[in-house]
Amino acid sequence: MRIISADAIQALETERFGVRALVKLILDAPLAPFCAWDDLGSITVGGDTYVGAAGRFTLNAYASPSDFSAQGLDITWTGLDSAVVALLDSVAWHQRPVVVQRAIIATDKPQILHLVPEFSGFLDEVVWREHRGGESELVWRCESAARQFSRSGGRTASDADQRERDPLDGFFSFSSAATSTPIDWGRMPEQAVAAKKPGLLTRLFSKIF
C-alpha cells in the first residue's frame, strides 16, 4: 500500500494535477547524475536538478508478463538533444543505474506533491535511429534490476563460501553441524518415556477375563 500525502489526495480528487516523468542516470563519481524531466524549466528533487524540455523524451509502455520475467524499458530521446549526445560521448554509461519516477504535480500552484517509483535498472544499450526527413532519435535500452531475481550463481550459505568473501567472518561456521543435530522436543534427552496408563476398558476386561 502506498502512502500519499493529504495534498496529493486532494489534488487527485479535484483533478487539479499533472503527471510528469523524471529520468535519472547515475554516473561514476565524482560526476553528478544526469537528470531530466518531460516539462519546461528545471526542478530540484532530492538534491538533484532535473533539466526539462517539452517532448524531450518518451517512455515505452511495458507490462509484467505472466511468467514474471524481467522487462526492460526504452527511453527515446530526440537526436537533436545536444546534452544527451555529449553525455554519451564523454562518460562511461554502460550498465550505469537508471531510475524513472512519476511526479504528481499540482496545477494551481506548481509543486511536486508525490513521487511514484516506476522503474529501476541499468542502461545496457544505446541505439541511434534515423528517419526520413532528417529526423533522428536516440534510444536508451535499459535492463530491469529485477533481472537479478532469475539468475543463479555458485554462491552458497556455507562457512567455506563466506570465508572467501571475508576470512574473518565466521557467521556460518556452525551451519553444517546445525543441520544434523537432533533436537528432542517436550522432554529431556535422557528422560525415559513414561509408561502409558491403561484405559478404563482395558482394566475392566482384565478383571473379567
Cβ contacts of 58 within 8 Å, gap of 6 or more? 38, 75, 76
CB of 70 closer than 8 Å to CB of 144? yes
- Whose cell is 556455507? That residue is 158
**So what's the pLDDT on residue 68?**
55
Distance CA 43, CA 25 (A): 16
Give the model's pLDDT for residue 98.
95
Average pLDDT rounded to a whole number, residues 11-35: 89
Half-sphere exposure of 163 (CA within 13 A, CB side): 7
C-alpha cell at 52: 526539462
Average pLDDT over residues 175-204: 61
Portion of the chain with pLDDT greater than 70, in percent: 75
Q: Is the pLDDT of residue 156 over 60?
A: yes
pTM over 0.75: no
| The dihedral sign for the CA sequence 50, 54, 57, 63 | positive
